[in-house]
Structures are given as C-alpha cells and as structure tokens.
Amino acid sequence: MFRRQVNAAIPDEHIFIIAVRFEGDDIIEADLDISATHTGGEMMGAPATGRKIRFGVHARGRFVGGKMAERWDRADFEDIKRQLTGPTQ
C-alpha cells in the first residue's frame, strides 16, 4: 500500500542505482538515489506541492525459490518531509 501512495504522489520518480551487493544466493542490497516531483496525491501528510525532492534509499531483499520473500527499505523520512513542507530554497 505504501508503494502505491508513493507512486501516486511522485509519478515522475527517477531511480539511480549507486551500488548493488549480493550476500550468497538469497540476499541483495542496493543503494539508490531517487529524484522526483511531488505532483500527484498526498505524501507524508502534504498535499501535492509541485516541489522537486531528492533522497537516498538503502534497499535489501531476500529471495526464496527465485522470488522475493522479504524486502526492507530505509530512507531519511524526516528529510523527505522537510523537502515537502519546509521553506523553499
């Protein structure tokens, strides 16, 4: 559900892969740089602002039988919220 909200809020999301690491046959990690424009729906309590945002994500996934069984993403949500609601620069 969260992913659908993000896709709706920032429909022009661009993902740049900084690094990819593998642990054995079942774990993958990636560092991502994401840039987008908040033109869609609400995101983190803020209505569409039209602001450009940029943030990093560390993603980790575990695979079982060739399919993703678990996924974890870590981002600085306070920084994202500041970019959406704070003073413009």
Average pLDDT estimate for 45-59 = 92
Task: Please report the domains of the chain, with CATH numbers, ordered by start residue.
Answer: 2-85 (3.10.450.50)
Beta strands in the chain (DSSP E): 14-23, 27-37, 52-64, 67-75
For residue 8, give the H/E element and its range. helix 2-9
pLDDT at 89: 61
Do residues 83 and 51 touch, judged by C-beta distance below 8 A? yes
Global pTM reads 0.83
pLDDT at 18: 97
In whole angstroms, what is the distance from residue 39 CA to residue 53 CA? 11
